[in-house]
């Protein structure tokens, strides 16, 4: 939901080694979320607005960092809609109108399914490790957990959305417990908080993710990880436009 929020939750595993510098910490934290061969997960997204709430249940299949397919299970009016990511391209299939749409770069900043997560979050076109420089700027406690506070600044000519990112990463398990996203002028745009660490498929991982836009503090999007299985055999041939129309 960071949908890819869908990808954001794929493949968490523990690390016991001590990071030597900021880049190594970011590398280990990033690998913890995206370092597995494959995953199958079911999640619930709750979009909260001052006058209404909306709940979406979806299932996601991933293979490494380059392939992901997401199927909407609920609500009924959007059931069967699917999203496909293949490397740096993304498509949407809408069975109600029998239409396949390739998402252009201009749509990457738009909210996914009306949430505070963007299509770019799902695509994750930029790399936290390769597209940013990293600097430890402090040490703080988040929910009783000691964390490194790390600043990420985009490298010159890097194709990224954010002008600056600050992450709080737990010292013991390399969990990204809090992330702040800033625009090019250094203005805070949104905050993401990860919590509710539980055992999923014999791994301790965050199972609740919340996005809060800075300019609309009464709005938020919550993603709850209901179930996940790691390293399930999934072939590249699964991730096709044809399969988007028939996957269940």
Query: Would the pLDDT of 248 be above 90?
Result: no
- The span from the CA of 26 to the CA of 119, in Å, is 22
Token pair in block for residue 116: 């505070």
Confidence of residue 207 (pLDDT cuts 50, 70, 90): very high
Q: What is the pLDDT of residues 62-102, one digit of tens each?
A: 998 789 999 999 999 999 999 999 987 899 999 999 999 99
Identify which of 128, 11, 132, 111 has the alpha carbon closest to the alpha carbon of residue 67.
11
What's the whole-number mean pLDDT along residues 115-134? Answer: 80
pLDDT of residue 65: 78
Contact (CB, 8 A) for 220 and 208 = no
Class level of CATH domain 5-244: mainly beta
* Selected residue with higher pLDDT from 82 and 107: 82
Q: Residue 52: count other Cβ atoms within 10 Å of its Cβ.
A: 7
Q: What is the pLDDT of residues 172-202, one digit of tens each?
A: 999 999 999 999 999 999 999 999 999 988 8
Q: What is the pLDDT of residues 128-149, one digit of tens each?
A: 888 899 999 999 999 899 999 9
Token pair in block for residue 110: 């738009």
pLDDT of residue 126: 65
| Burial classification of residue 191, based on how many CB atoms lie within 10 Å of its CB (0-12 exposed, 13-18 middle, 19 or more buried) | middle
Query: Would the pLDDT of 18 be above 50?
Result: no
Query: Would the pLDDT of 229 be above 50?
Result: yes
- Give the contacts of 244 (CB within 8 A, at least 6 positions apart): 69, 82, 83, 84, 91, 93, 100
pLDDT of residue 44: 98
pLDDT of residue 204: 82
- The span from the CA of 112 to the CA of 186, in Å, is 24
Return the SS3 of 159: coil
Confidence of residue 12 (pLDDT cuts 50, 70, 90): very low
pLDDT of residue 15: 36
- Residue by residue, DSSP assigns 74-100 as ESGGGTT-EEEEETTEEEEEETTTTEE
pTM above 0.95, yes or no: no
Rg over alpha carbons for the chain, rounded to the nearest Å, is 17
Q: DSSP character for 106? A: G
């Amino acid at each position: 939901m960071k949908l890819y929020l869908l990808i954001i939750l794929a493949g968490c595993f523990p690390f016991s080694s001590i990071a030597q510098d900021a880049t190594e910490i970011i590398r280990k934290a990033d690998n913890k979320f995206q370092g597995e061969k494959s995953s199958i997960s079911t999640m619930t997204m709750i979009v909260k607005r001052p006058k209404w709430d909306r709940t979406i249940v979806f299932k996601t299949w991933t293979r490494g960092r380059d392939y992901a397919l997401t199927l909407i299970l609920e609500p009924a009016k959007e059931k069967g809609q699917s999203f496909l990511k293949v490397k740096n391209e993304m498509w949407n299939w809408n069975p109600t109108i029998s239409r396949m749409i390739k998402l252009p770069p201009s749509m990457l900043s738009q909210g996914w399914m009306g949430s505070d997560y963007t299509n770019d979050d799902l695509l994750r076109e930029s790399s936290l490790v390769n597209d940013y420089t990293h600097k430890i700027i402090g040490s703080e406690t988040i929910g009783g957990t000691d964390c490194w506070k790390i600043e990420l600044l985009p490298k010159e000519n890097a194709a990224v959305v954010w002008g600056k990112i600050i992450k709080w990463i737990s010292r013991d398990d390399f969990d990204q417990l809090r992330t702040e996203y800033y625009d090019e002028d250094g203005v805070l745009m949104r905050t993401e908080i990860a919590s509710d660490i539980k055992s999923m498929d014999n791994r301790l991982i965050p199972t609740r993710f919340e996005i809060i836009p800075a300019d609309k503090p009464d709005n938020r999007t919550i993603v709850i990880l209901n179930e996940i299985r790691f390293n399930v055999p999934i072939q590249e041939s699964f991730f096709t436009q044809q399969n988007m129309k028939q996957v269940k």
